[in-house]
Amino acid sequence: MTRILHRQIHAKLPTARGGQGVHLFDTDGRSYIDASGGAAVSCLGHGHPDVTAALHAQADRLAYAHTSFFTNEPAEALAERLIASAPEGISHAYFVSGGSEAIEAALKMARQYFVETGQAGRRNIIARRQSYHGNTLGALATGGNEMRRTQFRPLLIETHHIDPCFAYRFQEAGETDERYAARAAQALEDKVRELGPETVMAFVAEPVVGATAGAVPSVADYFQRIRAICDRYGIILVLDEVMCGMGRTGTLHASAQDGIAPDLMTIAKGLGGGYQPIGAVLLSQRIFDAFANGSGLFQHGHTYICHPMACAAALAVQEVIARDNLLANVKTMGAHLSRRLGERFGNHPHVGDIRGRGLFMGVELVEDRSTKAPFEAELKLHARVKREAMARGLLVYPGGGTIDGVHGDHVLIAPPFIIDAATVDTVVERLGEAIDAAT
Ligand code: PLP
């Protein structure tokens, strides 16, 4: 009997013992293709010798030194590296232990920026429905997944939500991408005007929506319009690239494909590739200057910020990705995966949509393809597909049910960047069997 409080208390979980490349192995001798990297975490696959060597070396040298006394070498080197490749205007990095912590820190940076610049009335956060920004209270308040929020609602700060840009669900028949982008972005401007621009602090969005909607990119021009609205009203744009960032979509930052730069960007998962828990906020010079020229401090902090082991792991992961030109493989294998999914599921009666970018693909499951009607939430179809896939030695990340009464179940496919074409083919074959068995 386990003494761990697992997320699903009654689930009988296999015990993971090892991992090599794109494979995970359990203690019963079963092997799985890790086609989701957990939840888009293991971007480099498992057991990469260069990363484990860097971890050993760092553990031998220095495992921990508190940031109120010291900075440290791997954290400084990682910050240099991230800023050298950051979007325009981004000048500094703040290291935490994961995605939720990164969102919490970003929200506080946005708030402190307005306090430092004499706009203390700015406190409202606007975000989007069908989004996920983490499970800590500020992040949960910001996210738009009602299922996760309902019972904790009395503990959550007030936030405001607009519809996401989600073509499969919200683009109207005959509406061009351009008009849809304008309409979806207008929802932000309307909300800003409703609240009063002088009260609005930040707009938070995932460039490609991950866990709650299943790899949903926006249509062209949407984020450019969002950027313009934020600029017009002096609002801080926080792009949450915790899941879609760090190369997953084929460019280092997903938002590069939307042609915009944020004021704050959160990254995590693929930053350390699961070798250590790490996340970061990348912040703009403007925000840094407000702190530096104002109070001279960021009023925040955790025991493990800038953790040397975490930063050393992330540095090694990012060095290998660059050295081995793995983003080129993300693009090539992403196109191959997208093609194969289209061939296998293009006419499937229960697959409504296949979407995504790079090695970040979502397959949406519907009861009725012509009406897009989702399966009954009670069926937990996404969980069934996960189970059927696991029984066939395949890991895909399930999500959905009926969220905000809107969309159906989906599975996310987000394999390591090192995957090859033959393994992609096996992933699609096993996923096909799993979906057929589950529906
Ligand atoms: N933001 C996004 C977009 C995420 O997908 C997640 C996790 O799935 C988080 C934030 C929270 O990250 P963590 O689980 O590391 O706290």
The closest-lying atom of ligand 1 relative to the alpha carbon of residue 210 is: 5
Mean pLDDT within 15-26:
98
The closest-lying atom of ligand 1 relative to the alpha carbon of residue 139 is: 10
Structure confidence at residue 377 as a pLDDT band (50, 70, 90): confident
Residues lining ligand 1, Cβ inside 6 A = 39, 98-100, 103, 132-134, 206, 210-211, 240, 242-243, 268
Say how many Å lie between the CA of residue 241 and the centre of ligand 1: 9
Q: What is the pLDDT of residue 429?
A: 98
Say how many Å lie between the CA of residue 242 and the centre of ligand 1: 6
Decide: 400 and 407 in contact? Cβ < 8 Å. Answer: yes
Tokens of 352: 């409504």
Q: What is the pLDDT of residue 147?
A: 82
Structure confidence at residue 408 as a pLDDT band (50, 70, 90): confident
My answer on whether 212 and 153 are in the same domain is: yes
Three-state SS for the chain is CCCCCCCCCCCCCCCEEEEEECEEEECCCCEEEECCHHHHCCCCCECCHHHHHHHHHHHHHCCCCCCCCCCCHHHHHHHHHHHHCCCCCEEEEEEECCHHHHHHHHHHHHHHHHHHCCCCCCCEEEEECCCCCCCCHHHHHHCCCHHHHHHHHHHCCCCEEECCCCHHHHCCCCCCHHHHHHHHHHHHHHHHHHHCHHHEEEEEECCEECCCCCCEECCCCHHHHHHHHHHHHCCEEEEECCCCCCCCCCCCCHHHHHCCCCCEEEECHHHHCCCCCCEEEEEEHHHHHHHHCCCCCCCCCCCCCCCHHHHHHHHHHHHHHHHCCHHHHHHHHHHHHHHHHHHHHCCCCCEEEEEEECCEEEEEECCECCCCECCCHHHCHHHHHHHHHHHCCEECEEECCCECCCECEEEEECCCCCCCHHHHHHHHHHHHHHHHHHC
* Of the candidate ranges 53-62, 218-227, 242-251, 394-403, the one whose mean pLDDT is the lowest: 394-403
Which of 267, 297, 323 lies at the terminal end of a domain, its last residue? 323
Burial of residue 356, with CB atoms counted within 10 A of its CB: 0-12 exposed, 13-18 middle, 19 or more buried: buried
Q: Which residue puts its alpha carbon closest to atom 1 of ligand 1?
A: 133
Say how many Å lie between the CA of residue 61 and the centre of ligand 1: 30
Question: Which domain does 397 fall in, by range?
Answer: 16-48+325-438
Mean pLDDT within 179-183:
98
> Does some domain include residue 38?
yes
Which of 323, 354, 373 lies at the terminal end of a domain, its last residue? 323
Which of 273, 304, 323 lies at the terminal end of a domain, its last residue? 323
Percentage of the residues of the chain whose pLDDT score is greater than 90: 92
ipTM over 0.95: yes
Q: Which residue puts its alpha carbon closest to atom 13 of ligand 1?
A: 99
> Does some domain include residue 356?
yes
Say how many Å lie between the CA of residue 348 and the centre of ligand 1: 31
> Does some domain include residue 7?
no
Higher pLDDT, 7 or 304: 304
> Which residue among 269, 281, 302, 397 is best mutated to probe the pocket of ligand 1, counting the most ligand atoms within 8 A of its Cβ?
269
My answer on whether 65 and 161 are in the same domain is: yes
My answer on whether 163 and 272 are in the same domain is: yes
Q: Note the pTM of the prediction, 2 decimals.
A: 0.98
Say how many Å lie between the CA of residue 136 and the centre of ligand 1: 10
My answer on whether 315 and 332 are in the same domain is: no
My answer on whether 153 and 254 are in the same domain is: yes
Say how many Å lie between the CA of residue 175 and the centre of ligand 1: 32
Total domain count for the chain? 2
Q: What is the pLDDT of residue 403?
A: 55
Measured distance CA(127)–CA(279) in Å, rounded: 20
Tens-digit pLDDT profile for residues 289-316: 999 999 999 999 999 999 999 999 999 9
The CATH code of the domain that includes 151 is 3.40.640.10
